[in-house]
Structure 1
Amino acid sequence: MKARVEKITPPVDSNICKMLAGAHYVDSHRVATEYLGRSSLQIWLEHIAKTPAWINFLMSLRNKLVSTLGLKDLGDLRISDKASWEYQTGDKVGIFTLISLTDKEVILGDNDKHLEVKISLYKDSSSGESIVISAVVHTHNIFGKIYMLFVTPVHKLIVPYMLARFR
């Protein structure tokens, strides 16, 4: 059974909310789930490990297409080589770098000459236990804006799909 995914604004008490100024793109989705004593990073790692093959195929296709334009190959979403408690700020977590970590929220990101992306998984207990995934993108130039024209529609499909699979 799929969970109900709700589009929301980033939670005001989340750290990602402090990173919204000047953003080119912001989106947040919430889904009810039980934390079961897990940290924000544990939840992220468990969930990203279940990324469907079709999403990784799209990521691989993205990597091939953009490498011809000088953008970096980000790799596979699912790659994670440590337990959650071994990660420290600055470590690579799959395709992202760990920016900020608390029990309640993990912020991961990537930054290049075209854009800066930050992704947050936030444990929201304001109305029961739920997870909020937020994305914040700051573009640095016109190429970043053009890139986002292609990525945004795919992102809007993938994030709710992935959240609906949360357990």
Structure 2
Amino acid sequence: MTIPKHSKLFDYAKGAYFSDSFSREIPNNNQTALDVYLEIAKQTPAWVSFLMAMRNRIVSMFGLKHLGRLQDAGSEKNMASIKVGERIGIFTLQSNSDTEIVLEDSDRHLDVRVSFLLDVEGDKVRVHATTVVHVHNFFGKVYMFFVAPIHKLIVPSSLKTLAQAY
């Protein structure tokens, strides 16, 4: 799927090494984009947690940072007081509105931005989950070689779990 033109990541995706966007319709419960991200993190399937733990173990052998667990998002502090620049689980908050949250993680190998964009359609909300990656070097490309195919399984699965949670 293409990145929605009204997403903050639309222009950021130009020249990206990797990008994808998936969407899913969920009931409209007046949730914010932050609420959606926290629910996805909370509902992380065990197989995704296992893959994340393996990722952390493997990359730490090469001196890369241990990101932690996706489901840790929101457990550290009161989310009502979260500010741009603060960590939410494995990501740093880059921007936050009721309809779109942008999270990021950067290192010397790559820059990753993730967006959860909500399009309200009456009693339904279409959630767009978009990921954009800019790589800086060969190691970033090697990393994405392994991560990209798995990512294309994780995001749709997470959106399906989100729909079931609402």
Same fold judged by TM-score > 0.5?
yes
Stretch of structure 1 that moved more, 93-102 or 83-92:
83-92
Partner residue of 1:117 out of 98, 112, 117 = 112
Partner of residue 26, structure 1: 19
Q: How does 1:46-61 map to 2 (within 5 A)?
A: 46-61=39-54
For residues 84 and 39 of structure 1, do their structure 2 counterparts lie closer, same or farther at Cα, with a shift above 3 Å needed? Answer: farther
Partner of residue 145, structure 1: 141
For structure 1, list consecutive stretches of 5 or more residues without a partner in the other structure: 1-7
Give secondary structure in 1 for the equivalent of 2:27.
coil
Query: Which one has the bigger helix percentage?
Result: 2
> How many residues are paired up?
160
Match status 1:160 vs 2:156: yes
For structure 2, list consecutive stretches of 5 or more residues without a partner in the other structure: none
Maintained 8 Å contact 1:31/1:164: yes
Match status 1:37 vs 2:37: no
Partner of residue 85, structure 1: 80
Of all paired residues, the percent bearing the same amino acid is 41
Partner residue of 2:90 out of 89, 95, 117 = 95
For residues 108 and 102 of structure 1, do their structure 2 counterparts lie closer, same or farther at Cα, with a shift above 3 Å needed? Answer: same
After superposing on structure 2, the runs of 4+ consecutive aligned residues of structure 1 that deviate more than 4 Å are none
Give secondary structure in 2 for the equivalent of 1:138.
strand
Deviations 1:37-70 (A, max 9, x none): 1111011112211101221111011101111111
Give secondary structure in 1 for the equivalent of 2:50.
helix
Give secondary structure in 2 for the equivalent of 1:109.
strand
TM-score with structure 1 setting the length: 0.91
Partner of residue 3, structure 1: none
Deviations 1:101-157 (A, max 9, x none): 111100001000000000000002369521000000000111101110000111011
Stretch of structure 1 that moved more, 106-115 or 120-129:
120-129
